[in-house]
Amino acid sequence: MTVRVQEAPFDMGAEVAAFSAAQAGMGAIVTFSGIVRDLPGGGLEAMEIEHYPGMTESALEKIAEEARRRFELGDALVIHRHGRLAPGALIMMVATAAPHRAAAFAGAEFLMDYLKSRAPFWKREITAEGARWVEAREADEEALSRW
Amino acid sequence: MDVLYFAWVRERIGLPRERVESEAATVRDLVGELSAREERYALAFSDLEALRVAVDQELSDFDAPLAGVREVAFFPPMTGG
């Protein structure tokens, strides 16, 4: 299990290659990446991501450990950035490894559902008109009930 | 204890963290003490349904006891991913 919280960009291809190379005995790797979505019609200058240093890492580690236990994952990787990001920039990624694909897919979905509403990150959209905190969606909270 | 604020709670209160000397028994009591101090606290804490709380860096609730606690954080629902 690896969890990284960082301001710096990361190379998704290199991360997936390194993660995959370490999965002897696994047959399936699922990866997901989240990028900064522009506003409908454009106009987003940047996305600022605030977090709670210390708690962020421990919350992500707990979520990753729970995913490993539930889905019997061989390994999981979570990278999440903070700071000011441009539209289209990579915000985060998860990778899961399991013997077969069903567990790898389910583990990645579980990680994403929990990470969205249980890891202490807050997004703020910056436009020419000003800044606006992104509000949590009810659907994100409801997504947790299926687990 | 240290009290931390994030996102719009931080903006409304006007600082990211502060040291608070308090005998509050629960998070809810602490919120009451802070709200009684100044308008900006009362405003930030006016709707607890819109807030989340972490006690010693673990998600918790407003009825959580504060005995022996070192750090309490208030913030809106999280928007990671």
What ipTM did this prediction achieve? 0.95
pLDDT, one tens digit per residue, over A104-116 is 999 999 999 999 9
User: Is there a contact between A36 and A123 (Cβ–Cβ < 8 Å)?
Assistant: no
User: Is there a contact between B25 and B65 (Cβ–Cβ < 8 Å)?
Assistant: yes
Where are the domains positioned within chain A?
A: 2-146
Closest alpha carbon within chain A to B79: A122
pLDDT, one tens digit per residue, over B15-74 is 999 999 999 999 999 999 999 999 999 999 999 999 999 999 999 999 999 999 999 999
pLDDT, one tens digit per residue, over A65-103 is 999 999 999 999 999 999 999 999 999 999 999 999 999
* CA–CA distance, B72 with B68 (Å, rounded to integer): 11
* CA–CA distance, B5 with A76 (Å, rounded to integer): 31
| B80–A141 C-beta distance less than 8 A | no
Confidence (pLDDT) at A143: 87
Q: Architecture of A2-146 per CATH? A: Alpha-Beta Complex (3.90)
Structural domains of chain B ordered from first start? 2-75 (3.10.20.30)
Helices first, then strands: H and E counts in chain B: 3, 5
Closest alpha carbon within chain B to A50: B7
Contacts of residue A103, Cβ cutoff 8 Å, sequence gap at least 6? A28, A71, A72, A73, A96
Helix axes A55-71, A101-118, angle to 10 degrees: 150
H-type alpha helices, chain B: 7-13, 27-37, 39-44
Residue A138 clears pLDDT 90, i.e. is over it: no
Residue A141 clears pLDDT 90, i.e. is over it: no
